[in-house]
Amino acid sequence: MQLSCNNINNMRASQIVFNLQKNGNRITRTRKKIIEIFSKEDKPINAKNLLRKLSLNDDKVNKTTVYREIGFLLKQNLIQQVYIDPKEIFYESTGLDHHHHLICNDCGKIEDVVLEKDLSDTEKELEKKMKFKVSNHSLEFFGLCVNCQ
Amino acid sequence: MQLSCNNINNMRASQIVFNLQKNGNRITRTRKKIIEIFSKEDKPINAKNLLRKLSLNDDKVNKTTVYREIGFLLKQNLIQQVYIDPKEIFYESTGLDHHHHLICNDCGKIEDVVLEKDLSDTEKELEKKMKFKVSNHSLEFFGLCVNCQ
DNA sequence: GTGGGTGCAAAGCCTTTGCATTCCC
DNA sequence: GGGAATGCAAAGGCTTTGCACCCAC
């Protein structure tokens, strides 16, 4: 199970690397690792997390590189910001299925959730009523997780 | 129009001040001013905005005071954080009707919107399916406003 | 008068920038 | 070899902290 899941994710990472390279971007060891981390991870990551994950392995990566790489991946639209904490910027892969987050106010745990109904009706309402052209939305739920209730 | 609107908001501010005082909190000039600003303002405000608004008038207020006052109002649950920009923390009065924001990706304008349907069904779904007890949510829309389309 | 509120300066954090060095293609 | 990517140190920007002074009650 875990294995097949990893395979799928690794395929996604390779695909991303392939496309980047095709478009003339260099694939350095750090860039490849970061792409793999974002492909494997199903929770939002911030710069500090990412630095820690990278440093777990063999060689160290400088934080400047991490920030620059985040900027690069944002520009390539491979990751996106997640609006769950106004004090820290979190990111997640744009390749994930459209989902939302449950953030526990007590322990800080973040869970993903795919909702049964989407917000397309609401977005239509906004475009009609407010003449606002919605390109994306952020819907996050705050409360208490099972363990903290 | 404008006048009556201000009156309503000023009433709200006086009510807040009254309650704070009743609970043993001191009402300083700065605290009162900040409460009035949040009551009058219908857009999310950040510390910098607030400092600027306070400095427009007669005497200057120190930024430390602004940050401490924001902390105080948060603790009193009179203002809440708004999740629209991961780089800056915005706040708005908790006394406003439940609403969401439309953030223009081009000019940065923030509009309020009250949606026809609420998310209570979705919150019930989450409590049932994920055993997550929702206390509040953040729903923000990003896109292009009328002028920027 | 007392204790909370304020101002100032300094420190803390996270993030960005400048510049010389490294290494992918 | 050329130019993008990297590492290091320093700077920037926002926020917090320490401490002496002030003012609301």
Give kind and range of the element (H or E) at residue B112: strand B110-113
Give B34-86 as a 3 state SS string: HHHHHHHCCCCEEHHHHHHHHHHCCCCCCHHHHHHHHHHHHHCCCEEEECCCC
> Which nucleotide is the nearest neighbour of B21, by CA and C1'?
D25
Which pLDDT tens digit goes with each residue over B27-49?
Answer: 999 999 999 999 998 889 999 99
Which pLDDT tens digit goes with each residue over A28-76?
Answer: 999 999 999 999 988 899 999 999 999 887 678 999 999 999 999 999 9
- Whether the per-residue pLDDT at B83 is higher than 80: the answer is yes
Could you give the C-alpha distances from A93 to A16, A48, B135, in angstroms and in order?
11, 16, 27
* Percent of chain B topping pLDDT 90: 69
* Per-residue pLDDT, B59: 78
What mean pLDDT comes out for the span B67-79? 96
pLDDT band at B7 (very low <50, low <70, confident <90, very high): low
Q: In CATH terms, is domain A100-143 a member of 3.50.50.60? A: no
pLDDT band at B10 (very low <50, low <70, confident <90, very high): low
Give me the CATH code for the B5-93 domain, please: 1.10.10.10
Question: How many residue pairs bridge chain A and chain B with CB atoms within 8 Å of each other?
Answer: 123
Which of chain B's residues have a Cβ under 8 Å away from the Cβ of A105?
A: 135
* Per-residue pLDDT, B11: 66
* Per-residue pLDDT, A5: 45
* Per-residue pLDDT, A87: 78
- Whether the per-residue pLDDT at B57 is higher than 80: the answer is no
Which pLDDT tens digit goes with each residue over B92-143?
Answer: 999 888 999 999 988 888 899 999 888 999 999 999 999 999 999 999 999 9
Q: Which two tokens stand for residue A36?
A: 């793999």
Residues with CB under 7 A from strand C: A 21, 26-29, 46-48, 63-64, 67-68, 70-71, 88-89; B 25-26, 28-31, 59-62, 64-65, 68-69, 72
Average pLDDT, chain B: 89
Length of chain B: 149
Where in A1-149 does DSSP place strands (E)? 45-46, 79-82, 90-93, 100-104, 110-113, 133-144
Which pLDDT tens digit goes with each residue over A121-138?
Answer: 999 999 999 999 999 999
- Closest CB from A105, A121, A126 relative to B113: A126
How many Å apart are A63 CA and D10 C1'?
14
Which pLDDT tens digit goes with each residue over A86-114?
Answer: 778 899 999 888 999 999 988 888 899 99
All structural domains of chain A with their residue ranges: 5-93, 100-143
Which residues, numbered 52 to 111 in chain B, qualify as contacts with chain A under a Cβ-Cβ cut-off of 8 Å?
81-90, 102, 104-105, 111
* Per-residue pLDDT, B72: 97
- Whether the per-residue pLDDT at A11 is higher than 90: the answer is no
Instruction: Indicate which of B141, B142, B149 best probes the interface with A, i.e. most A CBs within 10 Å of its own CB.
Output: B141
How far from the centroid of its chain's Cα atoms is residue B75's Cα?
Answer: 14
- Whether the per-residue pLDDT at B18 is higher than 50: the answer is yes
Check residues A17 and A85 and name the one with the higher pLDDT.
A17
